[in-house]
Amino acid sequence: EPEVTQTPSHQVTQMGQEVILRCVPISNHLYFYWYRQILGQKVEFLVSFYNNEISEKSEIFDDQFSVERPDGSNFTLKIRSTKLEDSAMYFCASQGEETQYFGPGTRLLVL
């Protein structure tokens, strides 16, 4: 069964550094998403992406964040200058018809 994959599974970085989180969505899906979950809290929407552009973003998704689909398979989330409060689990999701399928997540720790 096709699945969403994410790399790396864990990332530790210093505050102020740039990080790129990578996702490979399910191949025939057209809608892509990033969510995050701070430890012990609910899953929060960050951004949605369709037809090679952002279609919606949340207040969390400020100028430090960007997304890209550099080729036909990868979908990336970049945080330009990480802050301590960016520490969280980041989930990529892709959607076919109705259901959003989530990747296993990248646990980001900013020190």
Least Å distance between CB 97 and other proteins?
Answer: 8
Least Å distance between CB 105 and other proteins?
Answer: 5
Enumerate residues 6+ apart whose C-beta is below 8 A from 46. 33, 34, 35, 36, 57, 58, 60, 61, 65, 77, 90
Least Å distance between CB 88 and other proteins?
Answer: 12
Enumerate residues 6+ apart whose C-beta is below 8 A from 71. none
By C-beta, is 33 or 82 nearer to other proteins? 33
Virtual torsion, Cα 32, 49, 81, 70, nearest 10 deg: 80
By C-beta, is 24 or 102 nearer to other proteins? 102
By C-beta, is 75 or 91 nearer to other proteins? 91
| Residues of this chain that bind other proteins (CB under 8 A) | 31, 33, 35, 42-45, 48, 50, 55-56, 58, 89, 91, 93, 97-105, 107
